[in-house]
Each structure stands twice: as C-alpha cells, then as structure tokens.
C-alpha cells in the first residue's frame, strides 16, 4: 500500500511539473511580427491636491475607459495567444487548429491602441463629473517586443453647487415637478455631475407619469448651468421645460373606459364578436366564459375616472402574469379625441390576455445515482389544470415511482428500496379570505396540498407517510418572497421492521426516539431575499431563513397528554439561515461565498427531533469531500464501530461554509475551484438507561461524548477542497465535482489535517454528480 501511495504522489508531482513546464514553454515573443509590439496593458496615475480628497471612485471610473483589453495571461504566460500563433503556420496540424478554435486569441498590438482617443474620453468623463480643466497625458513604456501605456491625470478642483432653482410659470405641471424635486439627489455643496442630472430627469418623468402625464418625456426637461456669478468654482443650476414642448404633454390624462379580453388569441390578433359583462364599470368581452369576470376584476388596480398611472399599470400587468393562467399580458392605452378642450384629456385602456394551454400531462423518466452508492430508475407523471374553476386556480396531481439498489458498499451490497408517492396541489390566486387588492406588487396565493408516500427498504423497514399543508405564498416586491404554512401535518407509520433494523434502534435510543414520534403538526415560515433576479447586479446578495414550530397547538388541545387521537406527537422548534454573496466580473467569472446555520430544539414530548427533521452533512450539496450523510455528529464515525449506518450521522445543530470560484472553459463547459467546511452536532442529552446492555450503553455514551457541540467545534469541522466541471445549457446544469478532504474530524487528534488528493489512500477522492449548482 505504501508503494502505491508513493507511486501516486510521484505521478501527481510529475503531472504538476509537466503542466508548469508546458505553460512556460508557451513563449510568444518569437512570433510577434517585426515592427509590432504586443500591448500588455495600461495603468492610471492620478495627481490631486488634498482638498479633493479620495480619488478611488474616479480612478475606477476612468479604468472602465481603457481599451482594448490586452491578451489574457495565466501564470505569466499567454496560452491563448500562443495557440493562435501556432495555428498560423503553413501546416499547423489538427491539434493546433483545434486548440486555436477553442482557446485561441487574436493578438492585441500597440498599433491597435489609440492613446489620444482614450485621453479625450477621460477628459470628457472628468468634465461630466465636475473636474473641469483637468489634464490627461499618456506615456509609452516599451521593450523590443512588448509595450505598455501609463496615463497621468492631473485633477483640478471640482465645481460645486451653490444654488438650485426651478424656473416655472403658471402651467399646473410645474407644481407637480416642484413636488417631485422634494426628493431630489441634487444637493447644495455637491459637485457638478452630468449623470446625476440625467438620472434626475428620468426620475421626474416617472413621478409625472404616476400623476397622469401620459405623453410626457424626460427629454422635455433641460438643466442650465451658470458660473458667471462666482470666481471660486461654484455654479448655479436651473431646471425648466424646453420650448415648443407638445401641448398634450403638459396635461394629465384620465381613464374613461376599460375593456378586458380574457381569452384573446395572439396568433390571430383579432377579436371575435362576443358579449360584454360589466363589473364596476370594466367591460369583459369573451365569446364563452373562460375566466369569471368577478374573479378577474380585483386584479386590475386602475379604474374609471382615475388618472393614468404608469406604476399602477405595471403592477396590474405583473399581477395578471403571476396568475399562472396567461402566456401573454398586454395593456394598451389609447388617446381619445380631446380637441374640444385642453383641461379634459382621456384614455381608453384595453387589456389583452392570451391563455396558456389549460390542461397538460407530463411524464419524466429518471435515472438516479447517489453519493451513498444507490442507483436506479424512476418515473414521474403529472397532470395540471391551469384554470380549474375559471378563477386562475391551478390544480395538479403528481405520481412517482422509483427503484434503487446499492451497487457498492461491502456488506451493504444488495440493499434496495422501492419508493412511490401521490401528491395533489390546489393553488388559488388569492389570500383567502382577504381581497387581492390589499397586495399591490403581485397576487398572493393560497396553496392546499395533500400527499402520501411510501418507502420500502429491504432488510430494514417500510415507511408510510401522509402529509397535508395549508398555506400562503406571496412576493412583497421584486426581491422579497414569503411563504407561510399555518397548517402543516405529517403522519409517519413505521412497519415491517426487520431484526437488523430493530437492533440498530435498540443500540441507539437517540435514533429510536426520533422514529417513535410519528405525528408532526405545526407551522412553518420562510423568508427569502434574492438579488439574483437582477441580471445587471454584479454583486447580488441572497438570504433565506425559515422557522418550523411543531406541537404547541396540539399541546393546548390535548392538555397535559402526550398523545392526540392516540398518536404521540412531536414538539420542537427549528430555525435555519442560508446566506450567499456573489462577486461577478468579466467573462462569466464569479466568486461565491455561502454560510449556513441551522438549530433545532426539542421540548415537551420530545427529547430528540423527529428523524425527518434532523440535520445531515456531506454530499453534493454540502461538504463535497465527504459522502452524503457521512459527517458527524462531531467526531463520531459509524464505520469505526462497524455499523456503517447513515442513521447515526445526524444532529440538531448544523454549521456550513462554502467558497467557490466559477469560470468559463469553452462554450457550455464551465469550471470551478471550491472549498467546503461543515458538520453536525448534538446540543441536547438523550437518556441512557442503566438497564441497557453494557455494549449498547458504551456505544451511546461514545455517540454523546463525540457528538456534543463544544468550544472546540472548529477543530471538528469536515473541510475539503476540489475541482468541478459543469455543463450549463440554458440554465440546465449537469455538475461533476471532484473533492478531497483537508481535515477529517473523526480521525485522532494530530492526524486530522492532511494533504488533499495525496493523503488518505482510497478515500482521498470523492466524486459527486448532481443536477444544478450547489448554491
């Protein structure tokens, strides 16, 4: 075995040396044509007096103007450029042509750079930011075959605002503009900023469009600057309307008719003759009733006689789209003839709704491979009706069946399981019993679910379960999502237990108690803040937290009893939080950091959390250098005791941290380098009876001693690093991760830290296959 390990290490070292040697052999200087110099980049040096203060933001903004970007560089070499040059030979060969096609880069020479243009762009940007009369010069730094540029920027004292005034006359629109200016970001003492003025015009336009000014345009506003009154780099700013603004843009519009077409065909773009139904002045036109007008009317936020409001129109479109019934939602406003008077200007609103296919059936055939060695086929069939009661209700039925068998695992080989289930969901686009109009951003939904599942594991047990949920989901805004389930009932029945499984329960009262409480009833709540929906945000933040409380209501109903309807029920409180931060930059590169923490506390009837509510660590969505459910609690290891049972590897406290660097390789292929750390622990004691056999008592005492959370928890973390390959095709991701442990918590002290991919023998490499990104 030692010979094998030494040979493996020698191979790894030789491979690393070979890669480094190959990279450093990729010199490109000999390929650069005579008379050309390879452009290697630019730097900016800013000179400013102390009164200006920090110039970091100015420097960052000027760096965005540097172009073109030099050829990419890895470990001091430019392989992309090297592959390009090799492919230009007379007979480059298949390999060189392929490498150039996939990874090659066109050379960027000094002749491709225009320093004078960059200087002018910088001066324009500095003028726009108030640094008038600044100076920018460039300097060449070159060798025989390489060249770089440096730009010297001399910042002048910026112009600052002394007075801001709205030039207005008797038109009513000026009063509305004046009200909008109470929220302006243009403040006395701030430096001149052209971009801020452009933003202010857009903001005022949005404010006016919420007050009826349907035809207004931000280009109708103009800012004028006056520096003549000052000689100390101060200026006055004036805002007014341009001359010759169209008259119709200066008056608000009122909605005087609303027509809704709930079954509009976008393919024909025609409206067939149909009867009209009026609800609160809104006319609904449909040949045959597709959507009940009384149920649809509450989702329309504007009404007759109201002023046009762009925000209300946008929210109405969001609400109608979120019903889940319609493929396209189009709201058109049309001006009516107002030649008779200027004071009365009106619009008609037409709402065209194009439905999705009402009924659908979908079948999925699945092949599952798990990190614990189980694999097998599965099938899932689902039926959906998107408008069950003509009120946007979605009704779904899903049935699934799967067979898995243990393909590897020593004495565990031959274990198999059969699983199946049936689930029905009814989603009602309303927060029963409240009116939808109380929620402006999106339609809240009431969800009612009923389901049953069974799981039969050979040599162990059969598990049947029934669950029922009544709850609400809603988006408070673009980023915030809530889910509240005030009724959440889960009943589990354990049967057909084998002697082998009963022996596991007998040896582990912690596990036995978690299986005894078969009735779980309580409420859960989830809050999610997700900036990933904003594709333009390069630093999105994500946080999701949930609270799960069970047994309190049942305790009130049953008094001092520990059972209800003859069933022992669980009592616990459980909370977790998942925090992620994404740092993105050019060419699809990203650094993602994640922190996760979860804690569950049993009380009352319960001394442990139910098994289905406990925490586990390890696997493709956790600490990837360890097999699924193989970490913890603490420094405990079931294989050390010969049990090899994932049942033992759970706890009521979980901590995890992940760091992952993601980068593109070619086309749909993406790469990753990652590090994971985490474990689970026990924070509560479980009873160990003196009547137990000595072997069982010793086993449980060891589990409690090694699994207890304490001050040395950091030394009990499972830590691993690895490399990943992902195939990302339009957000469908196949993920292959190769990971190796850096710290193994269940090893003796002093032996826990090891060299990844080298130490550890056959356990030094863990392969994970999964669908989707880990976080």
| C-beta neighbour count of 68 within 10 angstroms | 11
Residues 610, 615, 617, 623, Cα dihedral to 10°: 150
Please identify every stretch of the chain with a pLDDT value under 70, giving residue numbers as ranges. Answer: 1-27, 75, 268-274, 337-343, 367-374, 406-414, 434-438, 507-517, 554-566, 639-648, 686-697, 699
pLDDT at 644: 47
Beta carbons of 646 and 615 less than 8 angstroms apart: no
pLDDT at 151: 95
| Residue 480, C-beta contacts closer than 8 angstroms, at least 6 positions apart | 527, 528, 529
Q: How far apart are CA 712 and CA 258, in angstroms?
A: 68
pLDDT at 45: 94
pLDDT at 7: 42
Q: How far apart are CA 773 and CA 728, in angstroms?
A: 10
Beta carbons of 134 and 206 less than 8 angstroms apart: no
Residue located via tokens 């989830």 = 526
Beta carbons of 536 and 460 less than 8 angstroms apart: no
Per-residue HEC secondary structure of 406-471 comes to ECCCHHHCCCEEEEEEEEEEEEECCCCCCCHHHCCCCCCEEEEEEEEEEEEECCCEEEEEEEEEEE
Tokens standing for residue 274: 């149909």
Per-residue HEC secondary structure of 628-681 comes to CCCCCCCCCCHHHHCCCCHHHCCECEEEEEEEEEEEEEECCEEEEEEEEEEEEE
pLDDT at 18: 43
Domains, in order of start, for the chain: 2-154 (3.10.20.310), 160-250 (3.10.20.310), 254-355 (3.10.20.310), 358-457 (no CATH), 498-771 (2.40.160.50)
- Most distant CA pair in the chain: distance in Å? 101
pLDDT at 512: 67
**Residues 675-697: pLDDT tens digits?**
999 999 999 876 666 666 666 66
């Amino acid at each position: 075995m030692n010979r094998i390990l030494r040979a493996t290490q020698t191979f790894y070292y030789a491979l690393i040396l070979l890669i480094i040697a190959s990279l450093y052999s990729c010199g490109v200087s000999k390929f650069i044509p005579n008379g050309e110099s390879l452009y290697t980049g630019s730097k900016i040096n800013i000179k400013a007096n102390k009164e200006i203060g920090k110039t970091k933001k100015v420097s960052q903004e000027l760096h965005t103007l540097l172009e073109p970007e030099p050829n990419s560089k890895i470990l001091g070499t430019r392989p992309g450029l090297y592959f390009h040059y090799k492919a230009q030979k007379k007979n480059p060969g298949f390999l060189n042509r392929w490498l150039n096609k996939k990874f090659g880069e066109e050379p960027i020479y000094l002749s491709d750079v225009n320093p004078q243009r960059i200087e002018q762009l910088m001066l324009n940007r500095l003028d726009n930011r108030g640094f008038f009369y600044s100076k920018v010069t460039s300097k060449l730094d070159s060798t025989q075959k390489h060249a770089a540029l440096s730009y010297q920027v001399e910042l002048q004292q910026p112009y600052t605002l002394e007075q801001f005034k709205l030039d207005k006359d008797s038109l009513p629109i000026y009063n509305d503009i004046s009200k909008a200016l109470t929220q302006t970001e243009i403040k006395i003492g701030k430096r001149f900023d052209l971009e801020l003025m452009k933003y202010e015009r857009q903001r005022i336009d949005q404010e006016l469009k919420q007050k009826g000014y349907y035809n207004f345009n931000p280009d109708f506003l103009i800012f004028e600057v006056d520096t003549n009154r000052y000689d100390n780099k101060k200026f006055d700013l004036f805002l007014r309307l341009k001359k010759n603004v169209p008259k119709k843009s200066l008056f608000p519009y009122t909605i005087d008719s609303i027509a809704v077409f709930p079954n509009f065909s976008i393919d024909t773009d025609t409206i067939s003759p149909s009867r009209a139904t009026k609800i609160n002045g809104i006319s609904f036109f449909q040949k045959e009733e597709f959507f009940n007008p009384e149920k649809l009317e509450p989702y329309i936020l504007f009404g007759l006689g109201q002023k046009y409001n762009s925000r209300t129109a946008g929210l109405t479109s969001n609400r109608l789209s979120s019903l889940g019934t319609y493929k396209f939602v189009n709201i058109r406003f049309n001006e009516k003839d107002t030649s008779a008077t200027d004071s009365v200007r009106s619009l008609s609103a037409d709402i065209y709704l194009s439905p999705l296919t009402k009924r659908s059936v979908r079948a999925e055939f699945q092949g599952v491979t798990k990190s614990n060695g189980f694999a097998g086929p599965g099938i899932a069939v689902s039926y959906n009706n998107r408008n069950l009661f003509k009120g946007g209700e979605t009704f779904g039925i899903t049935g699934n069946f799967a067979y898995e068998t243990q393909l590897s695992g020593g004495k565990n080989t031959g274990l198999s399981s059969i699983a199946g289930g049936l689930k029905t969901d009814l989603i009602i686009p309303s927060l029963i019993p409240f009116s939808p109009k109380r929620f402006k951003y999106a339609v809240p939904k009431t969800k009612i679910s009923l389901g049953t599942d069974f799981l039969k594991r050979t040599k162990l047990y059969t598990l049947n379960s029934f669950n029922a949920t009544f709850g609400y989901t809603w988006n408070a805004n673009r980023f915030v999502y809530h889910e509240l389930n005030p009724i959440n009932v889960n009943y589990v029945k354990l049967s057909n237990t084998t002697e082998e499984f009963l022996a596991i329960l007998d040896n582990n009262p912690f596990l036995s108690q978690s299986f005894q409480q078969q009735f779980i009833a309580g409420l859960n709540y989830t809050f999610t803040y997700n900036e990933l929906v904003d594709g333009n945000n390069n630093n999105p933040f994500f946080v999701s937290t949930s609270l799960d409380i069970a047994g309190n209501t049942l305790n009130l109903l049953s008094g001092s009893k520990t059972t209800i309807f003859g069933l022992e029920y669980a009592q616990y409180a459980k909370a977790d939080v998942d925090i992620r931060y994404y740092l993105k930059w050019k060419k699809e590169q990203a650094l993602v950091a994640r922190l996760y923490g979860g804690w569950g506390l049993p009380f009352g009837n319960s001394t442990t959390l139910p098994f289905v509510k406990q925490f586990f660590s390890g696997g493709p969505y956790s600490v990837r250098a360890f097999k699924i459910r193989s970490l913890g609690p603490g420094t405990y290891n079931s294989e050390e005791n010969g049990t090899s049972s994932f049942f033992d590897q759970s706890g009521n406290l979980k901590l995890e941290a992940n760091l992952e660097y993601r980068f593109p390789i070619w086309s749909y292929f993406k790469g990753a380098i990652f590090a994971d750390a985490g474990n689970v622990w026990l924070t509560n004691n479980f009873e160990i009876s003196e009547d137990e056999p000595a072997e069982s008592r010793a086993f449980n005492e060891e589990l409690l001693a090694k699994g207890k959370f304490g001050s040395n928890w950091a030394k009990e973390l499972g830590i691993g690093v690895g490399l990943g390959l992902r195939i990302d095709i339009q957000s469908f991701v196949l993920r292959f991760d190769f990971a190796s442990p850096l710290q193994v918590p269940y090893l003796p002290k002093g032996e826990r830290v090891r060299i990844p991919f080298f130490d550890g023998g056959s356990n030094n490499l863990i392969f994970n296959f999964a669908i989707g990104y880990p976080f």
